[in-house]
């Protein structure tokens, strides 16, 4: 008897024998919860992500630079306050 190399559902000839140990039984086709992040956020298009993050990075650096003088003055005031106590 000739061994069949055809898939059962589609009758597609795969051209080689497949061991029953190589098959994954009980596949779960139930609906799964959505991914936490979209594909683009997981690195699907890293170059696009970098291009989008450069302006954000620049804006954050500008905001930090604008607040830095206030933080320095606050630190000086806190040092004077703690020295007087």
> Of all residues in the chain, what percent carry a pLDDT higher than 70?
69
Question: Maximum Cα–Cα distance for the chain, whole Å?
Answer: 100
Segment 19-57, tens digit of pLDDT: 767 666 677 778 888 878 776 666 667 777 788 899 999
User: Where are the chain's structural domains?
Assistant: 38-84
| Residue-level pLDDT at 16 | 74
Q: What are phi and psi of 73, to 5 degrees?
A: -65, -40
Q: Measure the CA–CA gap between 33 and 61, rounded to whole angstroms.
A: 37
Look at residue 1 and tell me whether its pLDDT is greater than 60: no
CB 6 within 8 A of CB 14: yes
Q: Can you give the pTM of this predicted structure?
A: 0.39
Q: Measure the CA–CA gap between 59 and 83, rounded to whole angstroms.
A: 36
């Amino acid at each position: 008897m000739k061994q069949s190399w055809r898939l059962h559902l589609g009758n597609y000839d795969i051209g080689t024998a497949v061991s029953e140990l190589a098959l994954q039984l009980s596949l779960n086709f139930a609906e799964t919860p959505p991914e936490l992040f979209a594909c683009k956020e997981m690195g699907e298009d890293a170059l696009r992500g970098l291009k989008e993050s450069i302006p954000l990075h620049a804006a954050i650096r500008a905001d930090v630079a604008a607040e830095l003088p206030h933080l320095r003055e606050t630190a000086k005031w806190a040092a004077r306050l703690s020295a007087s106590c």
